[in-house]
């Protein structure tokens, strides 16, 4: 899965954090096949590295409208699967 194309659609995050989140996501996609498990892995990794409270949605078809803390939002695709990660609360 690491060969899957990553396309960032929207981001409000420093570049170093963005790269680390994407790398964690690629690891999650390698370890898990169920979207819920990918989201859980990524949420725990983000909370551990950057502090709570992150929210993560992973899937192929969803809509969203969220409020997030400044510099703590990223929306990207790994292949055909979307990943939305943001900090709120």
Q: What is the pTM of this model?
A: 0.94
pLDDT above 70 coverage of the chain, percent: 97
Phi first, then psi, for residue 31 (nearest 5°) are: -80, -30
Phi first, then psi, for residue 46 (nearest 5°) are: -65, -45
| 46, burial (CB in 10 Å: exposed 0-12, middle 13-18, buried 19+) | buried
Residue in the structure block whose two tokens are 């969220």 = 66
Q: Which pLDDT band, with edges at 50, 70 and 90, does 18 fall under?
A: very high
The whole-number average pLDDT for the span 55-71 is 97
Cα angle 80-67-39, degrees, rounded to a multiple of 5? 40
> pLDDT (tens digit, 9 = 90+) per residue, 20-58?
999 999 999 999 999 999 999 999 999 999 999 999 999
For the chain, the first-to-last Cα distance in angstroms comes to 32
Q: What is the pLDDT of residue 1?
A: 45
């Amino acid at each position: 899965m690491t060969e899957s194309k990553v396309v960032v659609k929207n981001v409000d995050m420093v570049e170093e954090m963005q790269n680390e989140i994407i790398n964690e996501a690629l690891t999650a996609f390698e370890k898990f096949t169920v979207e819920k498990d990918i989201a859980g892995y990524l949420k725990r990794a983000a909370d551990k590295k950057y502090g709570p409270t992150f929210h993560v949605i992973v899937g192929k078809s969803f809509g969203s409208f969220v409020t997030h803390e400044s510099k703590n939002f990223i929306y990207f695709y790994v292949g055909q699967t979307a990943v939305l990660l943001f900090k709120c609360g």
